[in-house]
Amino acid sequence: MYLVLVRHGESVWNKENRFTGWTDVDLSKKGIEEAEKAGKLLKDEEIDFNISYTSLLKRANDTLKYILDELNINPIIKRTYKLNERHYGALQGLNKDETKEKYGEEQVKLWRRSYDVRPPELSLDDLRHPANDIKYQSIPKEELPLSESLKDTYKRVVEYYLDEVKPHLEKENVLIVAHGNSLRALIKYLENISDEDIVNLEIPTGVPIVFKLDGDLNIVEKRIL
């Protein structure tokens, strides 16, 4: 079986060097091109997909759409907030360089790259709180984060992988289009990467990562297209 992971193409806030998190922003022109290229690369692999997974954020949804258009297939699509990007709390929307000037480079590095340190939380009355977004109205408010570390993201992503994705992988190929940190969390689990080493893993936008798995879902081969 094959498990293919793709981080969404460049978003307009990636381009503007902003903390994005759960903010729902569009792909940039470059991001659309990256998504289309990812689809072309996967078409050359000739891997059949009957099911795919993505987050509730449109930059991932749109990337998946462009990929499926290139593949000319119409698989089942399952969308879940559990594959959303890490929630960056009160940093969402801020320019990363300006944030470094305000808080210092070491503090920002700790928020961005450490495994278990959360950025400053949103306040409950902040308009950016996910409870104010119709996409999350069916989710209990106490389950919606005000900020997340990579460790928090790992918990929700791996829980979803084990409950939902893994049973499908035992019988068919799976395509997941998500985000830098949700995919870092999943790869940490799949490759058994340590808390210390995961901070060094970078996942480029729009680049398919192909895992070939054996019958026990152990990784036989990993290729970055």
pLDDT lower than 50: segments of the chain: none
Given this model, what pLDDT does residue 108 score? 87
Maximum pairwise Cα distance, the chain: 51
Given this model, what pLDDT does residue 113 score? 82
Give the Cβ contact number of residue 23 at 10 Å. 18
Residues paired with 52 in a beta bridge = 77, 175
Given this model, what pLDDT does residue 133 score? 93
Catalytic-role residue among 8, 34, 87, 179: 8
179 assigned to active site: no
Given this model, what pLDDT does residue 142 score? 87
Given this model, what pLDDT does residue 5 score? 98
Coil, strand or helix at 56: coil
8 assigned to active site: yes
Given this model, what pLDDT does residue 193 score? 96
Domains of the chain, first to last = 2-224 (3.40.50.1240)
Half-sphere exposure of 176 (CA within 13 A, CB side): 28
Give the C-alpha separation, 16 to 209, whole Å: 25
Residues paired with 221 in a beta bridge = 212
Catalytic-role residue among 85, 87, 148, 179: 85
Give the C-alpha separation, 141 to 91, whole Å: 20
Given this model, what pLDDT does residue 15 score? 92
Given this model, what pLDDT does residue 102 score? 81
Given this model, what pLDDT does residue 83 score? 98
